[in-house]
Structure 1
Amino acid sequence: MRAAPVPVALVVLVALSAVVLGRVYADPLLTRLMVGAAAGSVLVSVAARRLPSWQVAPLSVAALAGWTLLSLRLAASHAALPGGLGEVAADAAGNAIPRLLTAMIPVQPTPDTVLLPVVAAWLAGLTAAEVALRAGRVLLGYLPPALLYAGALYVVGPNAEPAVGPTVLFAAVAAAGLAATGRPAGADAADPVAGGTPAVRAAVRLRPAVASAGGLAVVVALAALLAPVVAGQVDDHPVDPRRYVEPPRVETLDENPLIRISGWALNPDQRLLDVRTVAGSTGGGPPRIRLAVLSDYDGVTWRVGATYRNAGRILPAVEPAPGATTDVVRQEITVADLTGRLLPAVPTPREVGGARVAYDPASGTLIRPEGLAPGLRYDVSSVRERPDPNLVATANVPAGDAVARVLRVPDGAPEQVRRLATQLAEENGAPYARADAIATFLAEHYRVTADAPSGHAYPNLTFFLFGPRNGGGQRGTSEQFAASFAVLGRLAGLPTRVVVGFAPKADGPVRAADAYAWPEVLFEGVGWVPFDPMPRPDSEPRPVEEDFRPQPEDPPPSEVPAPTGEPTATPPAAGSAPDRARGGPGTPVLVGGGVGGLLLLVGAVLAALATMRRRLTRSRLERGDPGGRVAGAWRELTDALRLAGRPVGDELAAAEVAERARHALTEAHAASGAATTGDAATTVTGDAATTVAGDAVAVAGGAVDELAGLVNQLAFAPGTMTPGEADRAAALASAYGDALRDARPRWRRLWWRVHPGPLRWRR
């Protein structure tokens, strides 16, 4: 009995680490498993105290393996994870540390988030028991539980309130264990009062017991009183170890699934999912299934921009908006041909079973870090909100830093798009009226086509909104409709985002034809409200010009004032010829003045065109972010080909455009070289002219290939362009344009500089 307090103290000290760490877990399963590990490790050492020391460690490790496997099985069952025990254990062993440090708070007790704490608790208990009980070094035996306790505090970091109570209890238990160790057996034989009467012996032993109890009480009281005061003097928050571990990452198709809409539209029968609604109301039709929420736009691509944290079965709850009606929808989803990592679910998911997931609470987007695979089956319970339409119609929109992300409009927004947004905002004052006006404008003036090319950068949206109908403009997929709504909404002061998902017509297969993108607007006190800018079936779109006429930048000339006098029935008699001659200039002067005025007008127009062309080139090559400048350089190259009579379509890849550009330059210089050789006034021979032309073709051809490589990098790795690469793209585009222009006849070179085509062609 004399040695019993030490094992008990060790179990309590290790268990207190479980209490501290359990504060960031969703339920007490981890605490129970760690307490079991603490008790098991100490009891094994106590039971094997008569065995040689070298036999205790293997025996305890074998018991550790059994308790760990039991803990993993309990955690897997608790989280409803599929797979055998071996598969679960291997996955947890390989990913325990990064998943624990990237898990979302509160942490769900899953195999990968309980493995490390359980093993650490067992090893701390084993080491402490061997040092304190077998070696008799009680104070040194407290070191492993103290290190485990400090590690638990570090992992929790600033994600929970200060653990004042457990810390005070830790110190009290440690002091009690030291005070209760007593003297070893056999010491009474050497005790000078051992031969005294029982009363004398009791009095002698009572004094150190009272002193120990009093000292323990003083230590505990000081810790309880001074610990909060000392902690309050510390201004810095604890370091969060999660900032040192990178959360799960996704690839480009998962970061911007909006670009997949056009591909799915071309393969409408492709089977992506199978859905079965287990519970929940289906009033108003089957619910939309959300794949991803895209909140960030840089003028080229929409991106999710999420920070995914490993989550368990239960996801964080979000309070519904006031006045909104909610219902729980539970579905069983089986993956077919859908690829990537994004996990479809009805918004907003609250519980996921059958798959390990990572979650972004800001957007509600789910991923499966291992990626989707055919046959993957999982069930998801979601809380579907329906906002009160009476509140939406009168609600305002939030502003400030909290929503700056969904209000940001990147530099370089086309002027036509800005004017359209301004026109729609001026005609509709309330936020909901503005959003509804944008949706109505898009639905009434544009056409849905499955073969529309993918793209939602500024040039793509400008062509979609204002391009000629007979040239492919004013038609698109839900990608262009949703992206146009979101950009116009932000220009009109509305916080918007784009959502990609599916709109199934019933339970069963979800095919590529059900893929859909829609915009959402954030209203104060209501939340995110979806809008539908898609045209109604079989509706004929009206011409854009009927409802939108771009206002000129300069004010129009004033109209001729109306006459003030009443017109007479008979006009006054005309004066004689001499009178007319005396009253004004003669015919030669009028003709000469008219010709001169016409020449001045033509010159002014040409000068204005040249100035506007130079401004356009500078805006493309010198302004905006690096990605926009590279796109502008590519537009300069395609405009040069069009000016040379060699236009290229948007359906061609960058390498194919580069190939055509080289052929155009070769043929142009070949024709120019033949003309130069036959010119009597030339100062070089035909061979020399051919050599010069060949050098120009080689240099400019290499420039085209390098520029095509930069464009491919922009398309497949957006956001990675550097200012140096943008400067290089501008130089390459200028070199090619100069080489192609110089191969033209002199008068065509002059016309090249003032041609109005690039000003009205799609940018």
Structure 2
Amino acid sequence: MGRGAPVVTRVLRAAVVPLALIGLTALAGVVLGRVYAGDLLTRLVVGAAVGSVLVSVAARRLPSWLVAPVSVAAMAGWTLLSLRLAAARADLPGSLLEVTADAARNGIPRLLTAMIPVEPTPDTVLVPVVAAWLAGLAGAEVALRTGRVLLGYLPAAGLYAAALYVVGPNAAPAVGVTVAFVAVAAVGLAVPAGPAAAGGDPSADLAPRVRAAVRLRLAVASALGVALVVGLVALLGPVVAGQVDGRPVDPRRYVEPPQVQSLDENPLIRISGWALHPEQKLLDVSTVPAEDAAAAADGDRARIRLAVLSDYDGVTWRVGATYRNAGRILPASMPARDNTVQTVRQEITVAELSGRLLPAVATPREVSGARVAYDPATGTLIRPEGLTPGLRYTVESARERPGNNLLTTANVPAGDEVARVLRVADGVPDTLRRLAAQLAEENGAPFARASAIEQFLGEHYRVAADAPSGHAYPNLGFFLFGPRDGGGQEGTSEQFAAAFAVLGRLSGLPTRVVVGFRSTGQGPVRAGDAFAWPEVLFDGLGWVPFDPMPRPNEEPRPVEEDFRPAPEDPPPSEAPAPTVEPTASPEPVAASDGPPVSGGLSTPVLVAGGGGGLLLLVGALLLTLLAMRRSLTRTRLAQGDPGQRIAGAWREVTDALRLAGRPVGDDLAATEVAGQARRALADARRASGSAVTDDDAAVPGAPAANVGGAPGAAGTPSSGVGGVPAAAPEATVDDLAALLNQVGFAPGAATADQAARAAAAATQYVATLRAARPWWRRVLWSIHPSPLRQSRTPHSSRTPHSPR
């Protein structure tokens, strides 16, 4: 018994450090798992932590150079098993090889663009599992082979910090888990290192008195070490916490979500094309079970949505969605309190429908058979890889039906939350304002106003399948007031829905336009079934659809019977030019005939057996990123026509703002972005202790000097790009915004000199903003991969922000 006790003690001592390493690595998985659906991710990371440490323990007597290959081989097996489990849980199609290759290419960007809660699919579990295994391997080798326990904790601590960063503000503070992390680390540090941990006792051959002294000294040293760590945490913790913002930064703000093509951003312009080919088969729909098909085709509910368009700038309606990669289960929102909800499950097969928008009955809750990205604000789905003939997927939706008895007394919301769907762009024709005022004059209740607009459009206008596309203010003016014998007062559902939405907003109603298809719930959906309809937002009822289309076999009454424009504003006599489906996307998107965009940068899994090889790979990656960033800048500033180069210069400025932690939205006007750019530069100068110029505090939107290409600019001239004098960066960004507006309002009018001036302005501003950053941020600036997202899309001459 006397000899058995020391053996047990030595075994416990030898087991404490490996168990601590397993616990620290597993806790990183617990932290990250808080933003995942279910506990699969946590279990996979715990398995990686256990496997990596146990392999190192079992291989302790092997040469050190042999441990890494053995552990990496075991990691490959565990990773493949994890991917297979994740694919089976998400019901993803394809072989294990295809799933693994897709996850390796797109793991990081999909993880950072995924919707919360993140579905544990192969592309969202690959990186955490591999990172956990590598952290366990590195920590075990350092702590067990060299006896440096504290140094061996660094990989696990780095993994834990990375998990906290990825979670960001999307979960509650991990206070309990962090306390557990510190406690596990303290237990591992309290165990004597070196020979004691390896199974030997340094005092075994000493005299009893000396042995007791050695043990006492080791115990005192361990207690002092733990006390020192606790004291430092108690002393420095409040100071460090005071320097950190209460709300962590969300890394998703630095990664652009999946993008769509121009026809997907504004599918409303496709209505007229579909109307000319009504027999084209777009979809096959099957309602499951089949007896629900009759209910699926009941009245207003016989609609399959393609897209919801909430933004209107006086020229075009846009979806304006922010898509996040989603799993099979989509986030559910609470239905309106007074609505009835019906679950509809449909199997849809794509025929000749193109683009990336994925049709579904509102509001989708579960999608299987296709990887999707989702915008919760509008309920719009996309397939980032694009639609292909034969694609079959199943979608389950929670369809709401408002209580009709409550509509007549329902109010409409107001304020900042609905400002987007109440916004009316500048330039509204007076005739539209007067018509909206007339229809609202005798209809005070919101529902009465909406019904009056619906009735007016249905009684005075007729449907024409060959009507030209277009829903800008001039097009709507001609549709509403143009001469009947000259093509006016007729259109497709595009004009009916757009006119209703604009008149509704002018009457104080929050409106939007929806594009979709009529469906019986069973059988084919053809191009002739495509149509658009308006919706109005009511308190307690949600979005309610309206039907402003004329009734069949009813002859419309002349508009002049109920509305007569003032003499000074006669109706137009010529039809405005139709909207042509663009051949180049106004958003940077992938070419339709090229390989599908997966939604992010390539992320191959790099595994190195030794530290030297890993350093070489990291160095090669950094040099590659640096070269790609410089090539991207040269392409933007020097290639294409002058309009494209001006747009590229503007993209350099917006990328710089994103790298400086001041990203701008695409809904801002160019002058608003310029004002934000000035403020960002002023803040950076203040933070660095530099002098702040008067231009830093300039009023946003102030007129920019030297836009038309005349030599000279505000400030003292200095050397620029292409011989163009450089101005103060605050002035040059205003010049660039003005040039961007010129490109937006007068495409093709930009000159080569103006393009050179834009390049000089962008170069000077970016250099000035970068110079105001700390040295280590300047280094990261040059290799940050987020601007490369734009290099995966074809160069176009679009203006990245609204020209105003």
TM-score by length of 2: 0.68
Alignment correspondent of 1:689: none
Aligned twin of 1:59 = 70
Give per-residue Cα distances to partners, 1:131-180, cap 9 Å, x unaligned: 11112221111111111111111111121222121212111111111112
For residue 385 of structure 1, report the CA deviation from its aligned partner.
0.5
| Residue in structure 1 matched with residue 267 of structure 2 by the alignment | 257
Q: CA deviation at 1:724?
A: 2.5
Contact 2:474 2:576 in 1 (8 A): no
Structure 2 residue identity aligned to 1:240 = D
Residue 21 of structure 1 corresponds to 32
The equivalent of 2:384 in structure 1 is: 369
Moved more, 51-60 or 115-124: 51-60
1:63-88 CA distance string (max 9 Å, x none): 11111111111111111111111111
- The one of 139, 150, 172 aligned to 2:150: 139
Candidates 121, 125, 136, aligned match of 2:132:
121
Structure 1 residue 510 corresponds to structure 2 residue 525 = yes
**CA distance, structure 2, for counterparts of residue 545 and residue 104 of structure 1:** 51
Map of 1:180 onto structure 2:
191
Match of 2:764 in 1: none
One-letter code aligned to 1:389: N
How big is the alpha-carbon RMSD for the aligned residues of Structure 1 and Structure 2?
3.2
* Equivalent position amino acid for 1:138 in 2: V
Q: 2:101 aligns with which of 85, 90, 93?
A: 90
Structure 2 CA distance for aligned equivalents of residues 499 and 212 of structure 1: 68
Change (3 A) 1:399 1:651: closer
1:493-508 to structure 2, matched below 5 A, reads 493-508=508-523
Q: Using a 3 Å threshold, how does the CA distance of structure 1 residues 268 and 219 change in structure 2: closer, same or farther?
A: same
The 2-side partners of 1:87 and 1:383 are apart by 33
Match of 1:398 among 405, 410, 413: 413
Alignment of 1:104-503 (within 5 A): 104-182=115-193, 184-185=195-196, 191=203, 194-196=206-208, 205=215, 208-209=218-219, 212=222, 216=226, 231=241, 234-279=244-289, 282-283=294-295, 284=298, 287-503=302-518
Identity of aligned residues (%): 73
Distance 1:221 1:167, change over 3 A: farther
Range that drifts further, 149-158 or 215-224: 215-224
How much does 1:729 deviate? Answer: 7.5
Contact 2:110 2:325 in 1 (8 A): yes
Q: Which amino acid aligns with 1:254?
A: D
- Preserved contact between residue 348 and residue 383 of structure 1 (Cα < 8 Å): yes
Once the two structures are superposed, residues 266-316 of structure 1 have per-residue CA deviations (whole angstroms, 9 ceiling, x without a partner) of 111111011111145743256311100000001111000011111111111
Question: Who is 2:703 aligned against?
Answer: none
Residues 168 and 224 in structure 1, CA contact (< 8 A), matched pair in contact too: no
TM-aligned CA distance change 1:188 to 1:21, over 3 Å: closer
Instruction: Name the aligned partner's letter for residue 253 of structure 1.
Output: L
Amino acid at match of 1:476: G
Structure 1: runs of 5+ lacking an equivalent: 554-611, 617-634, 640-646, 656-705, 710-716, 733-763
The one-letter code sitting in structure 2 at the alignment partner of 1:351 is E
* Alignment CA distance shift 1:125-1:388 (3 Å): same
Find the counterpart in structure 1 of residue 23 from structure 2. 12
Contact 1:6 1:181 in 2 (8 A): no
The 2-side partners of 1:28 and 1:446 are apart by 57
**Is 2:470–2:578's contact at 8 Å kept on the other side of the alignment?**
no
Cα distance change of structure 1 residues 217 and 333 upon mapping to structure 2, 3 Å threshold: farther
Q: What is the CA–CA distance in structure 1 between the aligned matches of 2:98 and 2:282, rounded to whole Å?
A: 27
Instruction: Assess, with a 3 A threshold, how the Cα gap between structure 1 residues 118 and 228 changes in structure 2: closer, same or farther.
Output: farther
Structure 2 counterpart of 1:723: 741
Structure 1 stretch 205-214 or stretch 291-300: which is displaced more?
205-214
Deviation at 1:531, TM superposition (A): 0.5
Aligned residue for 1:3, secondary structure, equals helix
The answer on whether the counterparts of 1:503 and 1:514 sit within 8 Å (CA) in structure 2 is: yes
Aligned counterparts of 1:52 and 1:729: Cα–Cα separation in 2? 68
After superposition, give the CA deviation of every residue in 1:740-763 in whole Å (9 maximum; x if it has no partner).
xxxxxxxxxxxxxxxxxxxxxxxx
Contact 1:312 1:356 in 2 (8 A): yes
| Alpha-carbon shift at residue 46 of structure 1 (Å) | 0.9
Q: Judging changes above 3 Å, is the alpha-carbon distance between structure 1 residues 411 and 49 closer, same or farther for their aligned structure 2 residues? A: same
- Opposite residue 408 of structure 2, the aligned amino acid is A
Q: CA deviation at 1:506?
A: 3.8
Gap change, CA 1:399 and 1:202, over 3 Å in 2: same
SS across alignment from 2:549: coil
Contact 1:281–1:327 (Cα < 8 Å) also in 2: no
1:179-231 deviation line (CA, Å, top 9, x unaligned)? 1235515998864983328xx96797468548746974896698699968964
Higher mean Cα deviation, 485-494 or 175-184?
Answer: 175-184
2:199 and 2:60 map into 1 onto residues whose CA distance is 21
Deviations 1:226-256 (A, max 9, x none): 9689647744522211111111111110000
Aligned to 1:44: 55
Which is richer in helix? 1
Note if contact 1:414-1:462 (Cα within 8 Å) is conserved in structure 2: yes
Distance 1:105 1:61 in 2: 31
Per-residue deviation, residues 94-137 of structure 1 (Å, max 9, x unmatched): 11111111111111111111111110000000111111111222
Question: Does the Cα contact within 8 Å between 2:509 and 2:536 map onto a contact in 1?
Answer: yes
Determine if contact 1:292/1:342 at 8 Å carries over to the other structure: yes
Q: Deviations over 1:703-751 (max 9, x none)?
A: xxx9xx9xxxxxxx9999943247757999xxxxxxxxxxxxxxxxxxx
- Alignment match, 1:572: none
Residues 694-713 of structure 1: pairs in structure 2 closer than 5 A: none
Structure 2 unaligned segments of length 5 or more: list them. Answer: 1-10, 583-640, 645-665, 671-738, 751-804
Structure 1 pair 307–731 and aligned structure 2 pair: CA distance change class (3 A): closer
Alignment: residue pair count: 583
User: Partner of 2:288: helix, strand, or coil?
Assistant: strand
Runs of 4 or more, structure 1, over 6 Å off, are 186-190, 651-655, 717-721, 729-732
Cα distance in 2 between the residues matched to 1:394 and 1:341: 39
Question: Contact 1:172 / 1:220 at 8 angstroms: preserved in 2?
Answer: no
Q: Would the aligned equivalents of 2:287 and 2:521 in 1 still touch at CA under 8 Å?
A: no
Q: Shift in Å at residue 523 of structure 1? A: 0.9
Task: Name the CA distance, whole Å, in 2 between partners of 1:187 and 1:71.
Answer: 35
Partner of 1:538: 553
Q: 1:431 to 1:524 in 2, by over 3 A?
A: same
Q: Is the 8 A contact 1:445 1:542 kept in 2?
A: yes
